[in-house]
Amino acid sequence: MRVRMAPSPTGPLHIGTARTSLFNYLASRHAGGTYVLRIEDTDVARSTAEFEHDIIDNLHWLGITWDEGPQVAGGDEVGAFGPYRQQDRMERYAREADRLLASGSAYRCWCTPEELDAVRRHQEQAKEPPRYNRRCLNLSDAERAAFETANRPSVIRFRVEPETIRFDDLVRGEVEFDNSLLGDFVLVRNDGSPLYHFVVVVDDEAMEITHVIRGEDHLSNTPKHIALIRALGYREPRFGHIPLILNPDRSKMSKRKSQTSITAYREEGYLPEAFVNFLAFLGWSPGTEEEIFTLDELTERFDLAKVHKGGAIFDRDRLDHLNGVYIRALSDEQLALRLRPWVPDAIADDDLLLVVPLIKERLVKLGDVPDLIGFVWEPDDVVAAWYGPDLLHPKKGGPDEARAALERALVVLTELDDADFAADLLEQRCREAADDAGMKAGDFFSPIRVAVTGRTVSPPLFASLELLGRDRSMARVEAALRKLPVAAG
């Protein structure tokens, strides 16, 4: 088995391409085959080195490796079937285009955009399917010669035979298309640059690709490709079309309506292991209730026969669940290392390690850490600005109850010295203070939590106080008291 992934560097790596890359990787590794990365950069105007770097870097981040192709963006290529960038293969495309022209399977078309628009409008009015009317196929020799003498720009069109194309799809079973509906499509633009349908077929043959695994959106392209393959006398690879990725409302996932960039998910703090696990289940399942797999385990279990035909729903809640599972499977030391990019450099490694147990059970994404524990490193005045006086009010009470709780809490904090300032003792003393005030513990603790963390939901309150220390905790409680109105009388 030789499979390929052929991303176009005209945008960042998105979820659809990442999922297709993963399925190709898993299929080839499961079969002991070869995985090829080919850069389809014939769209010169939109292809950039920046996007190529984004694609390759994010594939590596996911743990997806390949046997042939560029290993790093802009770097040397590995493999015996290169070059693996289409811009470096133009001579081959030109030769194959000439071969199609010579055999009569392709022809030059001199129609102008205005002429083509006129044909399209006529077909629309006549309620005919839109396709090229073969005007230039039926030109006389004199008409062709006149266009050539005038140096009129021309494209190269493939002459589609009115035949039925059948193939056995690896996912969908037997598929049949009527190619008479296609129309003669363009292979080479009038500036000499080849188009996707042509180059992908030429490259797959040259690189001896045996299995083409791609998204369902390419299914309608396959009859064109098979017709080209046959006209060129190539060997036909096996085709497998995996289901589209859909939004929860079953609309097609697209960058205009959804977050599709892998980089964006990285920046939010999703773990690559969790993301790969999630991607694998977008259209595939092991046939059991299991849901947690390493990349190696996925490779061992993956089977194209178990890929679904129906659309795969992108469930963000499930991704969050998986990410949380993977986070909690890390040791505290491992998680601290993963959190480092989201924590200020001024926070020492030892202090970060102390924070991890407080947030590990609550953490959904690594990027959540500033919201969960940012109060530890933010200045006191910044934290005080996060909340208004109303947020200090306990669930059953108002400003008077908030002031009573904060004043009694301040007494507790003042009475303890630094050596005694520990979570267990703080909790004991605050519960006693709540009883003395005739308040429920939850109502007593609530204003303190807001005062020291700036949030109504936070890591364990007394561990947070211990982490902040006596002086900073007292300063924050005093700042909260200043926000409340002075008690009447």
Name the least confident of 19-33, 244-258, 317-331, 384-398. Answer: 244-258
pLDDT value of position 488: 57
| Long-range contacts formed by 135-142: CB under 8 A, 24+ apart | 135/109, 135/111, 136/107, 136/108, 136/109, 136/110, 136/111, 137/107, 137/109, 137/184
Token reading at 349: 């490694």
- Going by C-alpha positions, the residue among 89, 90, 60 that lies closest to residue 72 is 60
- What pTM was computed for the model? 0.91
Residue 376 · residue 465 · CB < 8 Å: no
| pLDDT of residue 44 exceeding 90 | no
Token reading at 440: 């429920």
Label residue 323 exposed, middle or buried (CB < 10 Å: 0-12, 13-18, 19+): buried
| pLDDT of residue 406 exceeding 60 | yes
Q: What is the mean pLDDT of residues 54-79?
A: 93
| Fold topology of 2-87+246-313 | Rossmann fold (3.40.50)
Q: Which residues pair with 68 in a beta bridge?
A: 36
pLDDT value of position 460: 94
| pLDDT of residue 190 exceeding 70 | yes
Sketch the domain layout of the chain as residue ranges.
2-87+246-313, 89-242, 330-376, 380-483
Dump pLDDT digits (tens) for 153-165: 999 999 999 999 9
Q: What is the mean pLDDT of residues 450-464?
A: 95
Q: What is the mean pLDDT of residues 29-37?
A: 97
Dump pLDDT digits (tens) for 74-124: 788 999 999 999 999 999 999 999 999 999 999 999 999 999 999 999 999
Residue 114: which residues within 8 A CB-CB, separation 6 or more?
Answer: none
* Dihedral angle, C-alpha 187, 189, 193, 197, nearest 10 °: -30
pLDDT value of position 258: 74
Q: Domain 380-483: state its class.
A: mainly alpha
Cα–Cα distance, 432 to 454 (Å, whole number)? 24
pLDDT value of position 487: 65
| Fold topology of 89-242 | Rossmann fold (3.40.50)
CA 459 → CA 362, 374, 395, distances in Å?
Answer: 8, 11, 19
Report the 10 Å Cβ neighbour count for 357. Answer: 13
- Going by C-alpha positions, the residue among 367, 375, 434 that lies closest to residue 406 is 434
- Please indicate whether residue 257 is annotated as part of the active site: no
Residue 204 · residue 157 · CB < 8 Å: no
Residue 430: which residues within 8 A CB-CB, separation 6 or more?
Answer: 409, 412, 441, 444, 445, 448, 462
* Fold: same for 2-87+246-313 and 89-242: yes
Cα–Cα distance, 464 to 221 (Å, whole number)? 59
Dump pLDDT digits (tens) for 293-346: 999 999 999 999 999 999 999 999 999 999 999 999 999 999 999 999 999 999
pLDDT value of position 73: 81
The one catalytic residue in 252, 255, 395, 396 is 255
pLDDT value of position 429: 96
| pLDDT of residue 281 exceeding 80 | yes
E strands, 197-298, are: 211-215, 238-242, 245-246
Cα–Cα distance, 288 to 64 (Å, whole number)? 24
